[in-house]
């Protein structure tokens, strides 16, 4: 019989333990996200999957903020984050550090979510765009790859925090399988 676990049975890391733990080498970049709830939700997702950091760009709000904190439920304390005036500034830094740049956007020559294992397993920056405009064209132009979630309904997009959860889960799974299969650090 199934029994719901108590919080004390989940054996979650403390913030200090989490900070010291090895991370999946992915930085999430938020390109002008306007909703504070979306920002908080993405913080929580990045914490859940043990990614390296979040970069907040442009109009994307920064912690501490009541609405972000309410949704993040403590993840703003565990997840490393930085703010950049523009997404292009973040990309300049990431490219200098050797990250491949991947935008999540509907574009020509996209890689479907089901084909993500074709992406190189390098340090990666994954960019999620504004709730109305998506990832800006200038950022798409600078991207090494674009990922697209196939959709089969009448809507043209998902909520950005839902999209981030799906993409981050898939990428994290791919990176962790690589680590298990090759016994190499992430």
List Cα–Cα distances, 33 to 13, 136, 161, 186, in angstroms.
29, 11, 10, 28
Each residue's pLDDT tens digit, 133-145: 999 999 999 999 9
How do the domains of the chain map onto residue ranges? Answer: 31-148+158-181
The topology under which CATH files domain 31-148+158-181 is Alpha/beta knot (3.40.1280)
List Cα–Cα distances, 173 to 19, 28, 116, in angstroms.
20, 16, 10
Each residue's pLDDT tens digit, 17-44: 999 999 999 999 999 999 999 999 999 9
Q: Is pLDDT of 184 > 70? A: no
Q: pTM of the prediction?
A: 0.93
Question: For all residues of the chain together, what is the average pLDDT?
Answer: 93
Each residue's pLDDT tens digit, 55-68: 999 999 999 999 99
As a whole number, mean pLDDT of residues 68-79 equals: 96
């Amino acid at each position: 019989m199934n029994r719901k676990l108590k919080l004390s049975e989940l054996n979650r890391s403390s913030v200090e333990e989490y900070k010291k733990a090895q991370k999946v080498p992915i930085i999430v970049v938020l390109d002008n996200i306007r909703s504070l709830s979306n920002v908080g939700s993405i913080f929580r997702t990045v914490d859940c999957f043990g990614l390296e950091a979040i970069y907040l760009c442009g109009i994307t709000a920064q912690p501490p903020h009541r609405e972000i904190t309410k949704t993040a439920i403590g993840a703003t304390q565990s997840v490393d984050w930085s703010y950049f005036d523009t997404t292009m500034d973040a990309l300049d830094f990431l490219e200098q550090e050797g990250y491949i740049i991947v935008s999540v956007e509907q574009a020509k020559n996209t890689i479907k979510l089901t084909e993500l294992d074709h992406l190189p397993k390098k340090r990666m920056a994954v960019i999620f765009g504004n709730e109305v405009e998506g990832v800006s064209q200038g950022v798409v132009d600078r991207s090494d790859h674009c990922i697209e979630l196939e959709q089969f309904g009448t809507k043209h997009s998902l909520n950005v925090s839902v999209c981030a959860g799906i993409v981050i889960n898939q990428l994290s799974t791919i990176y962790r399988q690589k680590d298990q299969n090759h016994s190499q650090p992430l």
